[in-house]
Amino acid sequence: MRSSPTPDGTPAPVDEPTPADGKDLRSRTFSSVLWVVADRWINRVASLVVFAIIGRLLGASEIGLVALAATFVALFQVFADQGFSDALIQRKEIDDTHPDSAFWVSVGSATILCLSVIAVAGPISSAVQTPDLAPVLRVLSVTMVLSSLSATPAALLERDFGFKQLTKRRVVANLTGGVIGVVAAFAGAGVWAIVAQSVSSSLIGVVILWTVVPWRPRMAISRQSVRDLRPVGLNVLGIQLFAFLNNQSDKFVIGAFISPAALGFYYIGMRMITIIADIQTSVIQQVSLTALSKVQDDLPRFRRGFLALTGTSAAVGVFTYAYFAAMAPVLIPLVFGSNWEPSVRIAQILCAMGALNSVLVFDRSALIALGRAKLALQITITQSLVGLVAVVATAPLGITGVAVGVSARQYLVWPFRLKTLRTAIGLPVWTYLRQWLLPAAAGVVMFGVLTGLRTVLPSPGGAPGQLGVAALGAVVGIAVYGLIGRLLFRDILQEFSGAIRARRRRRPSPEPVVSS
């Protein structure tokens, strides 16, 4: 229910849940992780199936065209939310005016930006010498407005650990959008199949979200609430802007200065890395801001939580990327067809980036949760500038060179990130490093074993043979990685298994309720 004003006329804080003890917070965090796991696995597996079907029906130039349009839309999208969603999650107490103000600022900004994209689509298309880009760009710009309608209610759910509702919403929206995209592709829609998938998923997601969230915005914006959210919001906006430069500059350079076809091959390789991250690393990362924000006033407990998150993510992430790097020559042709073999080397190189990202993804959440968003912004600026230089320097070498540059930037900036974390949360460097180095050592050995195994096996003669090689690689990989893991990082594995056992023993509790 909405809060009543206090005697002096100021809005009363929205009722917050009673602070949970450590075990309850850990349990809620792990429960949320499980729902995000369900979200990411169902959505990404479905997305992979849809993308595999569309990838077999479309050419590299068509997929590259949509990827280039999505890059421009993503740039404008950065400015729509203005970081207010993360600010709502991070803020210890909010009243009714905070979500109201965040909602209308986001919707208003997104509408203006959508109209701006529609107006400049033609000149952008001419500048990159891709005439077919303009109409795709105009239609995709609508997703900015749809995303803004979801940003605030989704943040309120996430703030209260409402990941179950968020999962259901995304699953239904993405599955429905995927079906629409596949039907359109079979009907010969070409690039518009992917556009239809994106727009329909966003629209359905908005409708579902507003049916499960009781909160409704009032037609009012509080200047004080905007001022309250602005400090964190501006830093998050800066982080997102430079993160865009960090994450999208490679696609822009390839699409604009090499060719849409080259971007298509690169995009497939990067897409596989993104899917892997979405179904595991970013699962924990999405919950981390909410969980760490709850203990922002208890630094020792904060450090323990941060190390538990990074350790679990590293143990799982390194295994997955090592397996995929070794088996990419089998998996990519199996999923997308033999015409996408140029994407294999790209994916293998980018696995080196993905393995390190399995621990790096928590830096931003940790710093924002502590109210040190400026430090997170400094990290993002540094990494984006190094990344831009790396991409421009390696572009003459083609998409393989760009992949090497993109992966190298993570390792080049890592010492600066380590120093920042040590300053902000007093994190011992070696304690943090071992969270990744020991699984990485096991991953290197596993990669070598699986590469050797794939080399000596007879060449698979079709989908059944490819599936057999992939399955055998998974069994051998688990055995090798598990054996080395028991020797090198048994404590990390025990932490992970202990969390699973605690979840099984925990009695079901009522779903969190979002105040309205």
DSSP string, 37-56: HHHHHHHHHHHHHHHHHHHH
Quickly list DSSP for 441-489: HHHHHHHHHHHHHHHHSPPP-SHHHHHHHHHHHHHHHHHHHHHHHHHH-
Phi–psi pair at 183, nearest 5 degrees: -60, -45
Structure tokens at 32: 């949320």
- Among 336-340, 389-393, 413-417, the minimum mean pLDDT is found in 336-340
pLDDT of residue 2: 39
Helix axes 260-279, 60-81, angle to 10 degrees: 60
Residues 6+ apart with CB under 8 A from 14: 3, 93, 94, 95, 96, 515
pLDDT of residue 165: 72
The four Cα atoms 226, 230, 231, 232 give a dihedral, to 10 degrees, of: 110
- In one-letter notation, the amino acid at residue 124 is I
> Are the CB atoms for 353 and 407 separated by under 8 Å?
yes
Q: Hey, which residues does 13 pair with through a beta bridge?
A: 95
Helix axes 223-257, 373-394, angle to 10 degrees: 10
pLDDT of residue 37: 63
- What confidence tier does 33 reach under pLDDT thresholds 50, 70, 90? low
- What confidence tier does 45 reach under pLDDT thresholds 50, 70, 90? confident
Cα atoms in the Cβ-side hemisphere of radius 13 Å centred on 243: 17
- Tokens 């992966």: give the residue: 407
Query: What average pLDDT does this structure show over 138-143?
Result: 92
Domain ranges, ordered by start, for the chain: 23-505
Q: Above pLDDT 70, what percent of the chain?
A: 84
> Are the CB atoms for 496 and 315 separated by under 8 Å?
yes
Q: For the chain, give the mean pLDDT.
A: 80
C-alpha to C-alpha distance for 128 and 132, rounded to whole angstroms? 11
Cα of first residue to Cα of last residue in the chain, in angstroms, is 5
Residues 6+ apart with CB under 8 A from 458: none
Phi–psi pair at 5, nearest 5 degrees: -65, 150
Residue 172 has pLDDT above 90, yes or no: no
The number of angstroms, rounded, from the C-alpha of 315 to the middle of its chain's C-alpha atoms is 18
pLDDT of residue 27: 59
pLDDT of residue 24: 56
Structure tokens at 77: 């999208």
Report the candidate in 144, 143, 155 with the shortest Cα–Cα distance to residue 102. 155
Higher pLDDT, 285 or 66: 66
- Tokens 């849940």: give the residue: 17
- In one-letter notation, the amino acid at residue 222 is S
If you ran DSSP here, which 8-state letter would residue 190 be given?
A: T
Residues 6+ apart with CB under 8 A from 450: 322, 323, 326, 327, 473, 476, 477, 480
Burial zone of 212 (CB within 10 Å; 0-12 exposed, 13-18 middle, 19+ buried): middle
Report the candidate in 118, 160, 157, 123 with the shortest Cα–Cα distance to residue 139. 118
Helices of type H across 187-298:
191-212, 223-257, 260-279, 281-294
Query: What average pLDDT does this structure show over 24-49?
Result: 65
- What confidence tier does 100 reach under pLDDT thresholds 50, 70, 90? confident
Residue count of the chain, please give it.
516
SS3 502: helix
Burial zone of 465 (CB within 10 Å; 0-12 exposed, 13-18 middle, 19+ buried): middle
- What confidence tier does 157 reach under pLDDT thresholds 50, 70, 90? confident
C-alpha to C-alpha distance for 226 and 87, rounded to whole angstroms? 10
pLDDT of residue 26: 58
Report the candidate in 183, 202, 174, 206 with the shortest Cα–Cα distance to residue 279. 174
Q: Above pLDDT 90, what percent of the chain?
A: 19
- What confidence tier does 284 reach under pLDDT thresholds 50, 70, 90? low
Higher pLDDT, 23 or 135: 135
Of 17-21, 39-43, 274-278, the range with the highest mean pLDDT is 274-278
SS3 5: strand
pLDDT of residue 497: 56
Phi–psi pair at 315, nearest 5 degrees: -60, -40
Query: What average pLDDT does this structure show over 231-247?
Result: 75
The number of angstroms, rounded, from the C-alpha of 496 to the middle of its chain's C-alpha atoms is 22
Residue 456 has pLDDT above 80, yes or no: yes
- Among 79-93, 398-412, 464-478, the minimum mean pLDDT is found in 79-93
Cα atoms in the Cβ-side hemisphere of radius 13 Å centred on 362: 31
Residue 486 has pLDDT above 60, yes or no: yes
C-alpha to C-alpha distance for 268 and 37, rounded to whole angstroms? 23
Higher pLDDT, 306 or 114: 114
Residue 20 has pLDDT above 60, yes or no: no
pLDDT of residue 311: 83
Instruction: Give pLDDT tens digits for 103-122.
Output: 898 889 899 999 999 999 98
Other CB atoms within a 10 A radius of the CB of residue 104 amount to 18
Q: Hey, which residues does 11 pair with through a beta bridge?
A: 5
> Are the CB atoms for 125 and 137 separated by under 8 Å?
yes
If you ran DSSP here, which 8-state letter would residue 18 be given?
A: P
> Helix count (H) and strand count (E) of the chain?
19, 0
